[in-house]
Structure 1
Amino acid sequence: MFEGDSSYYVDYNGGRMPLSDNYTARVPIVTGSVDALDKKKFASLLRYIYDDPFLKKNITGMVVRPTGGISMMNRNYDYEIMFGRIVNVEKKFNNYKAFFQNAVKDTLIGQYETINLKFTQQVVCTKKTGEWKETALQ
């Protein structure tokens, strides 16, 4: 995590851990307004990502906005995942996984600029050309 001029890891319980000269953990890089977040909810979100093999492999970074909303980055694709506030975490990630499976299958995954997970009943995407695409999830 980067906060001001300092960098550190966040442990499984949300506590700070110093960086190591001998080991680099494969965890998301977090930047932004971390103070705007509820630390317990944020630690819970990081644990959720860490405990899920798909998310652990694919979520490489997070930006915490001054409003407390979170954006995430995917390892293999150049789009922003607009996660929003730390609510309905399981539902949002299930929506993302369903979207991801369909988009990869349809070979459209590389055409998106943003994947918006803020809504619980749908994933709203913006294509790189600026066009909207809405995916309803049942």
Structure 2
Amino acid sequence: MLRKFDYSRLLLKRSLWLLLPIAGIGMAESKLTQQRCTNLVISIKGDSGARFLDQMDVRMLLTENGGDPLLGSRLKDVAMNDLEQRVKRNRLIRKCQVFSDLRGNIVVEVEQEKPLARWINTSENGETRNTSGYYISDEGVFFPLSENYSARTLLVSGAFFNEPEKLQNAKGAPVMDLLHFLNTDPFWKAQVTQLNADIDGEISLMTVVGDQQIELGTAEDYQSKFKKLKIFYDKVLSQDWSRFKRISVKFQDQIVCE
């Protein structure tokens, strides 16, 4: 009888250990279903030097310009996916994730677009037609300028960029590679201020020191062209930066200067 009683007591203890966590989870879930939004916590990721949007801009997107304040709303009634879509309507935003935490906050994590270049609309003779233009992201996507911040980046122009979809297909891939190169190589990033590409993809570059126009040809095999240019800069132009105004490396194994 004693063994039977001990066994029953042991079984009861084990049952309680199983039931208590389940009861706790149930109470927590019940509390969460009634929990209301206490705050909007917004973080903006991206280039640390570029602030196209601030937290107030994101808040206005999130709340439909204040029409849906969210604070005080029951979290279980808030459609997080819908909030993400609201924020992502702004083309300055690349990614957005919205979720709630255990403190009752609605957390919004935003990633900005990353500007690789800025397209300016020009006429055939190179005159700027307007000052608006667009940024080109590091993925080849055109996105609008910001009222809050103007990124210092490479300027691009020419008929090639009049069809933005080109930058995301095979024809535009070499041009995108070239833009990445001009943004990452320390020397050429400082030296090249503007890139112009005509409708056939023939590229010319404008420089800072010497104010030269460099005729690059198409973007294919740009690495070898810039190697030739760098040797020419080191051996010739470094002696007299204003000696030539036009330099062409578009022909294989040749450098033509005027």
TM-score bracket, shorter-length normalisation:
0.7 to 0.9
Confirm or deny: 8 A CA contact 2:237 2:243 kept in the other structure.
Answer: no
Identical-residue share of aligned pairs (%): 30
- 1:14, distance to aligned residue in structure 2 (A): 1.2
Return 22-31 or 45-54, whichever deviates more: 22-31
1:9 counterpart residue number: 135
Find out whether 1:54 has 2:187 as its counterpart.
yes
Describe the SS at the equivalent of 1:73: strand
Greater gyration radius:
2
**What is aligned with 1:115?**
247
In structure 1, what is the equivalent of residue 158 of structure 2? 32
The structure with the greater share of residues assigned to helix is: 2
Gaps (5+ residues) in structure 1? 127-138
How far apart are residue 3 of structure 1 and its match?
Answer: 4.1
Question: Runs of 5+ in structure 2 lacking a partner?
Answer: 1-118, 123-129
Q: CA RMSD in A?
A: 2.0
SS in 2 for 1:63: strand
Q: Which moved more, 1:63-72 or 1:2-11?
A: 2-11
Deviation string 1:62-96 (CA, Å, 9 cap, x unpaired) is 11123320110001222210011111110011111
Match in the other structure for 1:129: none
TM norm structure 1: 0.79
Alpha-carbon distance in 1 for matches of 2:159, 2:215: 16
Alignment-mate amino acid for residue 27 of structure 1: T
Question: Of the two structures, which has the highest relative contact order with CA contacts closer than 8 Å and spacing of 6 or more?
Answer: 1
Separation (CA, whole Å) in 2 of partners of 1:21 and 1:106: 43
CA distance in 1 between counterparts of 2:151 and 2:234 reads 27
Amino acid at match of 2:190: K
C-alpha distance in 2 between matches for 1:69 and 1:105: 27
Given residue 158 of structure 2, which amino acid in structure 1 is its aligned partner? G
